[in-house]
Structure formats: C-alpha cells, structure tokens
Amino acid sequence: MPKTLNIDPRVSIIEDRLESVKRIIAVTGFKGGIGKSVISVSLALALNEKGFKTGLFDMDFSGASGHIILNSAGSFPREDKGLIPPYVHGIKFMTAAYFSGDRALPLRGSSVSNAIKELLTVTIWDELDFLIMDMPPGINDTALDVIKLVKKAEILPVQIPSKISEDVLKRSIEIYRELGIKITGTVENMSASSKPGFYSQIFYDKALEKTLGCPEKIMKTCFYGDVLKLALKVSRTSKMSKREGEREKTRLVKQNGDIPGEVKK
Ligand SMILES: Nc1ncnc2c1ncn2[C@@H]1O[C@H](COP(=O)(O)OP(=O)(O)O)[C@@H](O)[C@H]1O
Ligand SMILES: [Mg+2]
C-alpha cells in the first residue's frame, strides 16, 4: 500500500503561525455545560491581568460562546496578509462568530476540521505568552485535529463533581495519554467542597451567570478569584522545580492513572 503523502500546505503554515506563541493551553472537557468557555475566557483575562500577553481562540465553532461572555460586539479582525485578531478587553480574541454573526455554523465532520485548519492558517497571533483555546466538548474529530495540528498544545481538562464526568474524563485522558499529549492538570469546576488531588478547584458561584457579557463584572466574582489562582499556577507550571513537577505528577497519577504527558518543568 503506498503511503499517503501529507501535501496539505496549511499544516506547515499553522506551525509557522504559532511559532512565536510560548504556550498553548487547550481547555477541554468531555461534556458540554461544564464551564470550559467561562474558564477559558476568565483564564485569558486573568493571565492578561498578571501581565502576560494572551490570546483566546474559540475553537467550538458550532457552540461558539466566547464572544457572548466577552461581549466582543463591534470588534472584527483586521486583514493584513492574514487575519489579525482584535484586542477585546486586553486579550487578542479570535472566533468564527465574527463571520457567522448570530447564526450557528452548520458545519459537520470534515467541514469543521477544514474550517479550523483555515482559521488556524490565516490567523496572525504574533508574540504571545499564552494562547488559550476553548475546545468543543469531547474527544472527537475537532479535538483530535487541533491536537495533531497544534503540536505545542497542552491540555487543561475540566470536570465537574459528578461520577459520570469523572469516568468520561478518565477514559478520555487515556486517549490523550496514548497520543503523548502534555496534560497540565485537571480542574474541578462547580466544586462544592475542597478536595485534594486536583490541580485546581473552581467553586460554584451563583453570582456568575448575571455577569456574563460584562468582563469587568466577571472579574469581580469569586469564580474569577478561583480562576486567578489557576492562572498563577499555570503560569508557574513551566517554572516548577523538578521536585514540584514530580509531586504534581504523582497527584495526577493518583487521580487519573499514569500520565506521561506530565506538567512542563
Ligand atoms: N463555577 C461556576 N459557578 C456557577 N456557574 C458556572 C460555573 N461554571 C460554569 N457555570 C455556568 O455554566 C454554564 C455553562 O458554562 P460554559 O462555559 O458555557 O460550559 P461549556 O463551555 O463547557 O459548554 C454557564 O451558564 C456558566 O455561567
Ligand atoms: Mg463552551
């Protein structure tokens, strides 16, 4: 059988486009409605507040919601040999919603992958300390394509306190493990009590809902306070000492089974 040649020129262009981005964090989770988008947006805002040059890419083309949480109405990418994302509340923000308006994108299967490749190919991020990717739910074609295309991406899995969410996450982490993907650490969202073993916990905050669409208000919530702690931890992860890194790995292993894609040291 002849080997299939990878002649899609976009693949190498995507690598070039992301060359000046130091770290790419894909906020993922294995169900919808568990807080991936509010965490992605708030994590980007928090990293920016801490002085990091930060970008946010809404990869959930059919369920795009970053533009609603951030209220990016009136912003639009600029064209200059590609698309330059506008700054929205201090972060460079790219979403397919700029082009689809309020309509959902009727894309399926390979069309989603193609649309993602296209947007990754044309978006010019320039230098960034962090690029946060808000992922669609589950390990499906979209998620796997992103992981294959964006080799630097590390995974920040989100789960909620539910047996089902935990089980699905555990199985999905197996897949990432087989693919050799780096896992930064698991976040429990909507927590009701402190539990050891998580990289980070974000507590349920009933005040959050009313603040969506107004970043200044989001940044005053307890939810955001928890995300700030997560942001500090993520930003320090790369500077972890070997010992701290090993400790973090042990914690992840206890929680999720053996994880070779441990945190960056
Ligand atoms: N920690 C939290 N406390 C209160 N509400 C939350 C929390 N995390 C998420 N939510 C709410 O849950 C809903 C789903 O969040 P979203 O980020 O859209 O999930 P996903 O992106 O995983 O589908 C939103 O209405 C959001 O405000
Ligand atoms: Mg979402």
Closest listed ligand to the CA of 165: 1
Residues with Cβ within 8 Å of 101's Cβ and at least 6 positions away in sequence, in order, are none
User: What is the rounded CA–CA span in Å between residue 150 and residue 146?
Assistant: 6
CA of 33 to the centre of ligand 2 (A): 7
The more confidently predicted of residues 104 and 183 is 183
Nearest listed ligand to the Cα of residue 31 = 1
* Any domain includes 262: no
Whether 112 contacts 61, CB under 8 Å: yes
CA distances from 161 to 30, 56, 201, 221 (A): 13, 26, 10, 21
Over residues 108-123, the pLDDT tens digits come to 666 777 888 888 999 9
Q: Which two tokens stand for residue 222?
A: 């307890």
Domain annotation covers residue 211: yes
Asked if residue 249 is part of any domain, the answer here is yes
Total tally of structural domains belonging to the chain: 1
pLDDT of residue 265: 35
Q: What is the CATH number of the domain that holds 213?
A: 3.40.50.300
For 61-78, the pLDDT digits (tens) are: 888 999 999 999 999 999
Residue 263 φ then ψ, to 5°: -60, 150
In which domain, by residue range, is 75 found? 10-256
Ligand 2 centroid distance, CA of 27 (Å): 10
Asked whether residue 209 is domain-assigned, the answer is: yes
Radius of gyration of the chain from its Cα atoms, rounded to whole angstroms: 18
Q: What is the mean pLDDT of residues 128-139?
A: 91
Would you say residue 265 lies in a domain?
A: no
Alpha-carbon distance of 135 to 142, in angstroms, equals 8
Is residue 2 one of the residues assigned to a domain? no
Do 175 and 139 contact (CB within 8 A), yes or no? yes
Atom of ligand 1 nearest to the CA of 209: 27
